[in-house]
């Protein structure tokens, strides 16, 4: 038995050529000319969008009070600091005293000035802070947290530099509570074998 025959084989048997289905063919050049003016017209109607870089427009707006200061609250351990920041000569006042008197240890003063060092703003802003709770180390961390937040509110473009260093994140580490049956939070009482 012979295989299946196609239309061309049938045409050869009957002596007639099969007709190809009627398809309207348009040359490629014509379709391009039809579509091109429409695309050009659409481009001409739409105004060109201005190119805006990330540095030109900050993601956030400047937040100032009626005195032109930026305010922020900083927290660390049990300490809470209220911080006001304004342009000045670099004077930092904590609870009505100069930072060198309130934080006598140089390491604590170093901690407070870290946000200014990272952003290259040393000596450009005055800071007034009130701190409550905790010890000196926690208070210094709270003031640092508050300064970093106030700085990012006064100059929103500095936010990325401050955030990259982790100064905007509240340090959530606190003292673990003492448990009963233990000498401290985890330390056991001395064990005696005999």
70 pairs with which residues across the strands? 85
Our count of domains for the chain comes to: 1
Tell me the residue ranges of DSSP E strands in 69-119: 70-76, 79-87, 92-94, 97-98
| Block residue for tokens 């800071």 | 127
The pLDDT value recorded for residue 20 is 56
Long-range interactions of 8-17: CB distance < 8 A, separation 24+: none
Kindly state whether residue 169 falls inside one of the protein's structural domains: no
- CA 83 to chain CA mean position, Å: 22
- Binned at pLDDT 50, 70 and 90, residue 66 comes out as very high
Q: Is residue 109 part of a domain?
A: yes
173: tokens are 């580490």
Looking at residue 2, what is its pLDDT? Answer: 56
Residue 138 maps to a domain: yes
The predicted model scores a pTM of 0.68
Residue 77 maps to a domain:
yes
CA angle 60, 65, 71 (to 5 degrees): 70
CATH number of the domain encompassing residue 84: 3.30.230.10
With respect to residue 152, please indicate whether it lies within any of the assigned structural domains.
yes
Report pLDDT for 92: 96
Does residue 47 lie within any of the structural domains? no
What is d(CA 168, CA 165) in angstroms, rounded to the nearest whole number?
8
Range of the domain at 154: 70-163
Q: Is residue 21 part of a domain?
A: no
């Amino acid at each position: 038995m012979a295989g299946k025959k196609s239309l061309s084989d049938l045409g050869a048997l009957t002596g007639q050529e099969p007709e190809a289905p009627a398809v309207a063919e348009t040359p490629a050049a014509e379709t391009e000319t039809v579509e091109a003016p429409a695309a050009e017209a659409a481009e001409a109607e739409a105004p060109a969008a201005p190119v805006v870089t990330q540095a030109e427009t900050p993601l956030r707006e400047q937040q100032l009070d009626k005195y032109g200061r930026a305010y922020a609250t900083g927290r660390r351990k049990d300490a809470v600091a209220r911080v006001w920041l304004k342009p000045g000569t670099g004077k930092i006042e904590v609870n009505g005293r100069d930072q060198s008197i309130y934080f006598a240890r140089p390491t604590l003063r170093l901690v407070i000035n870290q946000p200014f060092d990272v952003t290259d703003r040393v000596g450009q802003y005055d800071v007034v802070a009130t701190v409550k709770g905790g010890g000196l180390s926690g208070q210094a961390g709270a003031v640092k947290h508050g300064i970093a937040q106030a700085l990012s509110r006064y100059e929103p473009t500095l936010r990325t530099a401050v955030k990259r260093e982790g100064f905007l994140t509240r340090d959530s580490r606190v003292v673990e509570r003492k448990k009963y049956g233990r000498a401290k939070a985890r330390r056991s009482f001395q064990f005696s074998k005999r």
